[in-house]
Structure 1
Amino acid sequence: MARSRKWLFAAAVAVLTVAVTSGASQAQAAGPDDVGVMAAHKSPFNCGKTFYANNWSPGHSPSGSIDWQSYGSDAIGGETVRATAGGTARFYTTLAMADDIGILAYGNYVIVTHGDGTKTRYAHLASMVGSPGSSKSVSQGTAIGTVGGTGGDYAPHLHYEQITTGGAIDTSPTVEGVTVSLGQKKAVKSTNNCGGNPYSPEEVCGSGFSVIDQAALTGGRVYLLYNSGNSNNCVVTLKSTSLGAASPVSAFLEPQSGSRTTDSGSFAYYAGPVKKSAPGTCVKWGGSVGSSTYTSPFEHCG
């Protein structure tokens, strides 16, 4: 009998859940004997962002998972996805697993194993901060990817699961103190990573870059990063005041005997990244927040 595309996707999700959920023999809902999700989870989005958490039922697979969707005029596509609680993140993809009608299930996805043994899964990501098969330690609020629609012909959204230590899906997950039970759809405002700028210099510059120098500014800090894999330098200036509101900020990078490149304007969180390849060449770097500026001498000549 021919099966519907929806049925095949549900089957693919169930198979993948068995494959990657440690200790689980099948994708199932949490029962009274399961250990509940104990970590205090925040929204998986930047501080202040509001999106719908949709625990739609019946028909969503696995039951109890959340589809985070656009709220009002705030479109979710491309949004930064952040760990809802700290732990160890591992990165996966099913993009090489297409069957004869193109069912790709989770697409790019991340599983975070938390200190209490519970897990969260973040699926259909457009991009991830780690390559498939890699892992990294994350704190609550660490960026792990961006919202997309990978794994099928999906509108951008974030598929999100809270998984108990027994491997079951919690069918009434709680984020930001808001419980979203089966059949419910609630608007949830994020308080994740609200302690400061929601971006890190490594996140702005991208994979492979590490901070090698930095300078304080009134209202922010400018960073110089280096990627030893390709000899690229990167400069980014992060604001610490007026976050989320456009205000003057800049970043520049100048290899010795080369031209200076500057990113300058009114930005909500940061200026940059400004990247240049300068193997064996000294660089001058710096930036500004408002009237506070920093300019280095030519240095870091490796």
Structure 2
Amino acid sequence: MSVTSPFRRTTSLRRTRRWALAALAAFTLVAAPTAAAAPADTAAPDAGVLATSHKSPFSCGKTFYANNWSGGHNPNGSIDWQSYDGDAINGETVRATAAGTATFDDEGSTSYGKWVQIVHGDGTRTRYAHLATMVRAPGQTLSVSQGTVIGTVGSTGGSEAPHLHYEQRGSTGVVDTSPTVEGVTVSVGQKKAVTSTNACGGSTNPYTPTEVCGSGFSVIDQAALGTVGRTYLLYNSGTGANCVVTLKSTNLGTPSAVSAFLEPQGSSRTTDSGSYSYYAGPVKRSAPGTCVKWGGSVGSASYTSPFEHCD
């Protein structure tokens, strides 16, 4: 794959509510529709506020409305993240609001649909539901940092329109009815606009794998390159194309050695390597129903998969 620039980027809720949009300045909830049933451990009195500090579940600079519906939202105190018109949030990257161990699940057409629970260092938990895609298969776990991509917004399970259902829970599993994100507390009966500072600058790469690979691609696997980066495998189910991108997490903005490669079984390997500021790739190959070997490197840290993902 030819390389022309060290700095490249592919440009890129719950149901639409009957809000009273004219009252934006007050950010006061007008109506509380009935929500889909949630899995067990949602009852009981408040177990206390979470000790963990949480950022928004979206990428840096994104602003969405956190809606804590009163009456009929199950569980009470959970947040529905939506855009102003209830539509633009569809397909948005979902990130961990704090570090911990993520577990991935899929309840099919009921309740949460595709969802992730993250158990944080103090035993508290967050949940992210109705996802369109997840970066791991159901039943798998992943150690995540604050800002790690875990999936994309969708409308799976008991959902009528794209949105992100989000919960903060204490160590006993009880829902915090006044969750705080980005320092903004959203109590029952409120909706507030929240701007994300998650994955902003510093040691966090401002780009995501889906932004680099483009529309239609979803992360299906990833591997850490020590502390210096991470390489990702994405797939487009509509076209049968695979895509690999390697993101740096150190020396951001400064060109340094990065690579990404993809090799369908029985075919030659395609590699993109060079001195890049943020990432290598995208390396794309069409390989429907074919096993692939993939990986990448940042500096001396590298990863090479076996032939896998053969479906």
TM-score (norm 2): 0.62
The equivalent residue for 1:141 is: 147
Q: Distance in 2 between matches of 1:235 and 1:112?
A: 26
Contact 2:263 2:292 in 1 (8 A): no
> Post-superposition shift, 1:236?
2.9
Aligned with residue 272 of structure 1, among 279, 282, 290: 282
Partner of 1:44: 57
CA deviation digits over 1:143-176, x for unaligned, max 9?
A: 1111001113521100000001232111110000
| Separation in 2, partners of 1:279, 1:172 | 47
Q: 1:135 Cα shift?
A: 0.9
Is the CA contact 1:35–1:166 (under 8 Å) kept in the aligned structure 2? no
Number of aligned residue pairs: give it.
239
User: Whole-Å Cα distance in 2 between the matches of residues 270 and 46 of structure 1?
Assistant: 20
Of the structure 1 ranges 65-74 and 82-91, higher mean CA displacement relative to structure 2 is found in: 65-74
Question: What does residue 257 of structure 2 align with?
Answer: none
Between the aligned partners of 1:139 and 1:254, the Cα distance in structure 2 is 29
Bigger relative CO (Cα 8 Å, ≥ 6 apart): 2
Aligned counterparts, 1:244-259, within 5 A: none
Q: Give the superposition deviation at 1:259.
A: 9.8
Corresponding residue to 1:197 among 205, 209, 213: 205
1:163 paired to 2:169: yes
Aligned to 2:3: none
8 Å CA contact retained: 2:134, 2:219: no
Match of 1:60 in 2: 73
Output the CA distance in 1 between the equivalents of 2:114 and 2:199.
Answer: 23
Residue of structure 2 equivalent to 1:90: 103
Structure 1 residues 279, 166: CA separation in 2 closer, same or farther (over 3 Å shift)? closer
Q: 1:246-275 deviations in whole A, cap 9, x for unaligned?
A: xxxxx897999969799xxxxx98852423
TM-score (ref. length: structure 1):
0.64
Tell me, which stretches of 5 or more residues in structure 2 are unaligned? 1-32, 235-240, 255-259, 273-277, 298-304
Q: How does 1:214-253 map to 2 (within 5 A)?
A: 235-236=244-245, 240-241=252-253
8 Å CA contact retained: 1:51, 1:70: yes
Alpha-carbon distance change, 274 to 59 in structure 1, aligned in 2, over 3 angstroms:
same
SS in structure 2 of the partner of residue 115 of structure 1: coil
CA–CA distance in 1 between the matches of 2:230 and 2:171?
A: 42
| Structure number, greater radius of gyration | 1
User: Is residue 69 of structure 1 aligned with residue 82 of structure 2?
Assistant: yes
